[in-house]
Amino acid sequence: MEERLITAGECEKLMEKLSTYTFQQEYQPQRNTLTLSEGDEKKLQIRFPIYWHSAKDHNRNQLDQTNYVLLMIRSGIAAIGYFENGENMDHKVFRAYMVRKKQGKSQIKHLKTKGKSRAGSRVRLAETLEFFEGINERLQYYFNEFRIDKIGLSCSTTLIPYLFGSKISTPFEKNDDRLFKIPKHIPNPTYEALLATNDFMLKSEVQFDSSLKELIYGVIEKDAPQSNPSEEEEDW
């Protein structure tokens, strides 16, 4: 399967062309993806732009009708932003002393094997708890002040219990219909990474069989963006 990153306009043109095909279609709202198959063979998968809500009703896919939050968390650093009309209206980057300098291992992973008896470990644990409390406090602010239609999250699985188990709770549950995994590995969630991730989410990503190459390239504009292979990591 070949993979390409295309603009929202190109995605709309592609959907118009696909309307004449007889592929079996399966839309997954949680992933915002449409899969087209022929028999048991997957031919095409489209990840829609973040503000799209329907594979068929394009009147629901208006940028000015979707407010969203992007949250990216790694050990010791996190970035969160609130977006309207595809633009970042507010953001904050959180940092904490969570990584053991010599081993380069996060305090959370260390606790599973070595405990927390030393003073340095206790300091790192305290900063870890404050780190997630600060994240959830900012989330609470966004959800209290604005209508939030979608929540994009990138977080390693080891940190998920700390996010949802914080003393300051998240303003949504793990099974919230608005919540989705950001389909991109983000090793260092800085403000710059937050903006780059937003640009990525405003575009569409297509994976397609070689038999559909002519169809795909027929709607891609010259110098259209290409997707880069992402570094794999076990994320939520």
Residue 178 and residue 104 share a domain:
yes
For residues 41-46, average pLDDT: 96
Residue 189 and residue 128 share a domain:
yes
pLDDT(30) > 60: yes
Question: How much of the chain exceeds pLDDT 90, in percent?
Answer: 69
The mean predicted confidence, pLDDT, of the chain is 87
Residue 44 and residue 99 share a domain:
no
Residue 121 and residue 79 share a domain:
yes
Q: Is residue 6 part of a domain?
A: yes
Strand extents, DSSP E, the chain = 2-6, 24-28, 33-38, 41-47, 67-74, 77-84, 87-95, 99-100, 105-106, 150-155, 179-181, 204-208
Residue 133 and residue 106 share a domain:
yes
C-alpha Rg value of the chain to the nearest Å: 20
Residue 182: the pLDDT is 96
For residues 116-138, average pLDDT: 80
Residue 100 and residue 17 share a domain:
no
Residue 213 and residue 195 share a domain:
no
Q: Is residue 224 part of a domain?
A: no
| φ, ψ dihedrals at 164, nearest 5° | -85, -10
Query: What does the block give as tokens for 129?
Result: 């708890």
Q: Is residue 22 part of a domain?
A: yes
pLDDT(187) > 60: yes
Instruction: Give the integer Cα–Cα distance in Å for 77 and 65.
Output: 30
Residue 108 and residue 129 share a domain:
yes
Residue 44 and residue 150 share a domain:
no
Q: Is residue 77 part of a domain?
A: yes
Of the pLDDT bands very low, low, confident and very high (cuts 50, 70, 90), residue 55 is confident
The domain tally of the chain equals 2
The conformation of residue 57, written as its DSSP 8-state character, comes to: -
Q: CB of 235 within 8 A of CB of 21?
A: no
Query: What does the block give as tokens for 127?
Result: 């900063």
Residue 225: the pLDDT is 55
Question: How much of the chain exceeds pLDDT 70, in percent?
Answer: 83
CATH number for 117: 3.30.420.60
pLDDT tens readout for residues 82-113:
999 999 999 999 998 776 555 545 545 545 54
Domain of residue 127 covers 66-199
Residue 138 and residue 45 share a domain:
no
pLDDT(2) > 70: yes
Residue 175 and residue 71 share a domain:
yes
Residue 117 and residue 86 share a domain:
yes
